[in-house]
Amino acid sequence: MLLRILKMIDKQELNTNIPAHVAIIMDGNGRWAKQKGFFRAVGHENGTKAVKEAVEGAAEIGVKFLTLYAFSTENWNRPKLEVDTLMKLLVNSLRKEIDTLQKNNIKLNAIGNLDALPNKARKELLEVIEKTKDNTHMTLSLALSYGSREELIKTIQEISNKVKNNVLSPHLINEAVINKHLYTKNLPDVDLLIRTSGEQRISNFLLWQIAYAELYFTEILWPDFKRTNLFEAILDYQKRERRFGKTSEQLS
Ligand code: IPE
Ligand code: IPE
Ligand code: MG
């Protein structure tokens, strides 16, 4: 299957039209477990294998920025047991996968309200971020305790303070200024947003940053997601014409 998909990808296209920034809403762990008669935790555990697939697959074909929605601000409202399981899985995965990140020259980044994470998870995360900070092949951003509205509130508060302290004049507020205050300040706009599990919604993810992203929805539940599914999404992306408001004729 992998070979077949790889053969389908024109090498020239691979070199020239790989989305620079791919973001994924990794959804469906719970339903995957339920279908198999397992506890939800088993779905989350298997979800970490799909994370590895997506990360290695993206690095393999030259995606420069991969951003994964791992835990939303709304996910704090899940039962405590499930939240604890997810936080433990985060710590274990970071410990287990540090070698994969180093081997593939991947820099880890995190976006979201990291102060809300349990100390152990935050400490582990910051350690891996520090250890991988000089890696250059790809930036992997984990969205943790991330909510786009929370991010926009934080941004507006920071900008308002600058205006109040006469550091910034309101008429100078533009897209670049706003970008500079977002958690994603070091990332380009999203080119391709993928959501698994058949849900077709954004769930408070990167609202500002996906303004002109291509959206791709697949029925596959996250634990079943393989790198070939990522390549399929990218092939679909490559067939689209991104006009950014212009006419087709202007582009050609
Ligand atoms: C995605 O899977 C993982 C997180 C949101 C943390 P879900 O846990 O949302 O799985 P479903 O949507 O209930 O199937
Ligand atoms: C979105 O999935 C958050 C993550 C994938 C981390 P959810 O399962 O929490 O979203 P809803 O509740 O279906 O919108
Ligand atoms: Mg879900």
Structure confidence by residue, pLDDT tens digits, 75-90 = 999 999 999 999 999 9
Strand-strand pairing, 65-72 and 21-25: parallel
Asked if 134 is an active-site residue, the reply is no
pLDDT at 7 over 90: no
Q: Which ligand is nearest to the CA of 203?
A: 2
- How far does the chain reach from its first CA to its final CA, in angstroms? 34
Tokens of 85: 């399981």
More confident position, 3 or 24: 24
- Retrieve residue 32's tokens: 């995957």
Confidence of residue 4 (pLDDT cuts 50, 70, 90): low
Largest CA distance in the chain: 60
Active-site entry in 10, 15, 17, 27: 27
Residue 199 alpha carbon, nearest atom of ligand 2: 13
Instruction: Give the model's pLDDT for residue 11.
Output: 41
25 lines ligand 2 (CB under 6 A): yes
Q: Which amino acid is at 178?
A: I
Q: Is the per-residue pLDDT at 59 higher than 70? A: yes
Cβ pair 178, 151 in contact under 8 A: no
* pLDDT of res. 197: 98
- Which two structure tokens, joined as six digits, stand for 139? 């930036």
Other Cβ atoms closer than 10 A to 100: 14
Per DSSP bridges, beta strands 65-72 and 214-217 are unpaired
Q: Is 165 a catalytic residue?
A: no
Mutate to test the pocket of ligand 2, among 32, 34, 74 (most ligand atoms within 8 A of CB): 74
The residue whose two tokens read 């006469």 is 166
pLDDT in tens, 109-164: 999 999 999 999 999 999 999 999 999 999 999 999 999 999 999 999 999 999 99
pLDDT in tens, 176-225: 999 999 999 999 999 999 999 999 999 999 999 999 999 999 999 999 99
pLDDT at 16 over 80: no
Closest residue (by CA) to atom 11 of ligand 2? 203
